[in-house]
Each structure stands twice: as C-alpha cells, then as structure tokens.
Structure 1
Amino acid sequence: MMRRKPTVADLRALKGRRQLTMLRYFSLEEAGAAEQAGIDIASVPPEIAADPRHREVAPSIFTMTGLTHLEAGTPEDYLRWSGDALQKGADAIYCSGSLRTVEYLAREHIPVVGHVGLVPSRATWTGGFKAVGKTAEAALRLLDEVRAYESAGTFAVEIEVVPVEVATAISERVGILLWSMGAGPGCDAQYLFANDILGTTEGHVPRHAKPYRDFRAEYARLQAERVAAFREFIADVESGAYPEDRHIVRLPDDEIEAFMNGLEERTVDADAAG
C-alpha cells in the first residue's frame, strides 16, 4: 500500500504516540532508499528539495530544507526564500535565525522548525561542538528557549546533543514536536545523518551516530575494482585482445570487394591528378 505524505497537522497529531524517523540525506539515491525503507521525515539541502526528481523518488517523505541565519539575511529575505522553497516542493523550513525572524515567518503561515542545544551555526555561544544543558541552570534555559520557539509559532524544534533527561522533560512539557539528534528517545523523532548510518562520515564521528553499513570499505573496494578494470582494458588493447570481433562491425563480402575497387580507382585518379 502506497504511503501518503503527512501534513504538519498529521505530524503534530502523532506527538507522544510513536517515534518518528528522520534523516539528513544528500542525494537522490539516498532519497529513493529512504522512501523505500519508510523514513518519515527528511532534512535536505535546498538543491535537493528544489529538484523535481526528488518528489518522484521520495513522494511520501515530509521534507524540511533551510538556510542558516548566516546565509539567509533579513527576515524579508528569509520569507522570500522560504516561499520559493515551499513552491518547489519543500514541506517545512529550518530557521536558525532569531525568534523575531521565526515569528515573522510563522505569521505568514510558513511551517517553521527551530533548533536548540548544539546549533552548529551558533556553537560559539554555547562553548563549541559539545553537549548543551549539562547543568540545571543550562537545562532550564533550554526549556525557556523551546517554549519561546513554541510561542513564536514553530511546529517543531530540533534538539541536538542534550542530556536525555532534559530533552525528555522538555518534550513532555511543550505542545510542539521535538526532533532528537543525540538527545535520547524521549522526543518525537530520532534524527541521524545518512552518512552516519552508512559509515561514510569523514573525521570526527559523533557519539549519537550508529553505522549500520560500512560504505567506506565498499567505496574503497569499488575504487580498487575500477583501477583493476582500467588496467585490464589497457592490457587488452596492448595485446590485441580488444576489440574482439563481437565489438566491431564488418562489411559483407560483396561490399568489401566494391569498396576495395573504389579505393583503387580513387587512388589511380589521385595519382594522375598529382
């Protein structure tokens, strides 16, 4: 049975009822695999969201895209960009901008997703790339921040690298969805990057990553196979093993005779003209 793409209202109605699955993926191949596997939500780069082929391969995945506040500009810029993204196929907009910007978008009925905890574009304010909310005071600030996002009009907030007790308690006390990246199972969705699942993450592998496959080894194996195949091709050319008769086209015998006769005549004519 074909799945139907959920609406914002559908997702909100699922709060507290079941855990949703969420991926960040970067290619149409990954999008197609996510669709076939049954992933609920995706976060994708703008170029994927805008590609008409994305909806062909992932018609039922609720898709979020966005820009950081460093990329988008003013609230008006954000609104223009968001409207264009939604018209091209996105279902919601990620916004790391100020609450003023979030509220501005929400008032225009843009489905907005906020971000708390470890927010890469704002990490300098929370001490860099590390867990946030590890003291009671810091945890209460997170609760205040999520509630502020709720008041500003978001329907969901990504909560990243926050102690599980904190994320769970906050999720239980707000009406919006909390999408957990490294914040435990007490939220409404579990969010991982596709490269963390497939084992292709470069450099530091985050604590919350769980590789289910080793694509890095598979890619290395395929590269070795490419090199071996190219070397075999070179050897076949040098030895005369390629091309074989099945790789070429031959003239019928009577056409060969006519062709050779024609060559002879043209050679004689050329010699005479010279």
Structure 2
Amino acid sequence: MPRKRPTVADLRALKGKRQLTMLRIFTLDEAAAAEEAGIDIVSAPIELVAHPRYREVAPGLFSMTGVDHREAGTRDDYLRFSLKALMAGADAIYCSGGLGTVKFLADEHVPVVGHVGLVPSRATWTGGFKAVGKTADAAFALYEECLAYEAAGAFAVEIEVVPDAVATEISRRLPGLLLWSMGSGAGCDVQYLFAMDILGDHKDHMPRHSKVYRNFAAEYERLQRERVAAFSEFRRDVETGAFPEDRYLVKIDEAELAAFRARLP
C-alpha cells in the first residue's frame, strides 16, 4: 500500500511534534530507496521529478525542486518554470532568488521554500563557505530574514550551517514557518542531508554537518576493479579462442547446413 504523500498543510501541522527527514537525491534508485526507507521529504532536480517513473517509485515523497536564480531569468520565467514543475509532480519550489521573487511566486499559490544561512549561490555576501550567525548581530539578522520570508509567503526555509542554539530560538518564534536544517541542529523541523554524503558516494571534502553511513566510494572502486578484470578476461578469452564456446552459439541441422552450402557460389 503506497504511503500518502504529505501536503504543505500536513507538514505545517507537524511543526513541533516530530523531526522530519529530508534528502537531496539525483536518481530513480535513490528515490525508490528513500521511499522504502520512509524518508519524508526530498529535494531533486526537475529532470528527476518529471521522469515518467518518478511517482511510480516514489509515490509518498514530498518532493521539492528548483532552479538556481542565476539561471532562472525573469520573475515570469521563474513562475513559468515553477508552474510546469508543479504540473510535472513537484510539491514545492526552492527559490534562491530575492524576497520579491518569493512573494511573486507565493502570490500565485506556488509553495515556496527559501534559504538562509550559508547559501552557496550567495555565499560571497556572508564571507564564503562558512557558518553564518555566530555573532548576536548576525543571528538577529537571520531571524529578521526568516521573518521576511514568512511575510513574503514562503512556507519553509532551508537554514544551513547556523549555530544550533540560534536556529532553535528562531524556530520557536516562527510557528508558521518550517525550518529545514542542514547542519543547524535538532531545534528545527526537518533534518536535511545529501544522499551522496550519507552514502560516502564521493571523494571530495565531506561537510562537517554530514554523517557518512555507508562507503559507496570504496564499493564503486571495488566494482570498477571487477569491471576491468572481467573485461580483461573477456579479451583474453577472445584472443585465445576460449570464447565463444559452443554453449553460447546457435546450431543448424547438418543436412540444412549442407543444403545451404550447396547453394552458395
């Protein structure tokens, strides 16, 4: 029996009642695994959410997608993308653009998720890829930014690499806004990690806030070695005549073969 996919209203009703889980995913296999594991929310590229099989494998995942505001174009372009994404099966739209754009989308009843703290596409304004909100002034600015997102019509914000005590205080004071924590503590409403970090699926720097549960990188290396070994064995078999063996070939009756040969020039 497929899970019932939550709505924005369902997620809002859960604020303060339990922690929800969220993953950034990129493949149908990851979507299917998230569904089976009981993950609540995912962020995924539009190409994945719009895939014909996406809702077949992930019927119960509340799914957010988006486009970088640096690529989105005008607000009308952003709205056009958002409406198409919702029609394709998305449940919410991530918006890294300004508050005016957030309001523009929300006024058209698009479920919008904003982003505060360390925002990669805007990191130059906060000093690069580092924590945000470690002083009283910076923390209060984060609070005011979350207030502004709520006023603009966002139903949630991703809050990234902010001191957990700061994120907790902000979340307590904003009952109408969901805070999706990426490295900002359990005082928020959702715990958000990248699937590739959980799986140890890359060799790059691992963010401090990410927990590795499996070592897929080592497994992929092992599989690559096995792949090379299998290809090498195949090449050697061909070169020595060991492949193809009779069991892999189709045979013809000897009389039919003789008749065929007799007709050849």
| Matched pairs, number | 264
Question: For 1:52, what is the secondary structure of its paired residue?
Answer: coil
For structure 1, the 5+ residue unaligned runs are 267-274
Identical columns (%): 69
Give per-residue Cα distances to partners, 1:206-231, cap 9 Å, x unaligned. Answer: 10111111000000001000100011
Matching residue of 1:234 = 235
Structure 1's consecutive aligned runs of 4 or more residues displaced over 4 angstroms after TM superposition are: none
Aligned residues of 1:7 and 1:62 also touching (Cα < 8 A): yes
How do 1:101-180 residues align onto structure 2 when only pairs under 5 Å count?
101-174=101-174, 175-180=176-181
Larger radius of gyration: 1
Aligned residues of 2:2 and 2:59 also touching (Cα < 8 A): no
2-structure distance, mates of 1:14, 1:118: 25
1-structure distance, mates of 2:18, 2:43: 19
Question: For 2:104, what is the secondary structure of its paired residue?
Answer: helix
Matching residue of 1:184 = 185
TM superposition shift of 1:76: 1.4
**Which residue identity lines up with residue 246 of structure 2 in the other structure?**
D
Aligned residues of 1:52 and 1:88 also touching (Cα < 8 A): no
How do 1:1-274 residues align onto structure 2 when only pairs under 5 Å count?
1-174=1-174, 175-263=176-264, 266=265
TM superposition shift of 1:253: 1.9
**Which residue identity lines up with residue 18 of structure 2 in the other structure?**
R
Aligned residues of 1:154 and 1:176 also touching (Cα < 8 A): yes
Question: For 1:42, what is the secondary structure of its paired residue?
Answer: strand
TM superposition shift of 1:67: 1.2
**Which residue identity lines up with residue 111 of structure 1 in the other structure?**
P
**Which residue identity lines up with residue 153 of structure 2 in the other structure?**
G
TM superposition shift of 1:50: 1.6
2-structure distance, mates of 1:52, 1:254: 51
2-structure distance, mates of 1:204, 1:133: 23
TM-score normalised according to structure 1 size: 0.94
TM superposition shift of 1:81: 1.0
Question: For 1:108, what is the secondary structure of its paired residue?
Answer: coil
1-structure distance, mates of 2:97, 2:255: 78
TM superposition shift of 1:54: 1.1
1-structure distance, mates of 2:203, 2:232: 29
TM-score normalised according to structure 2 size: 0.97
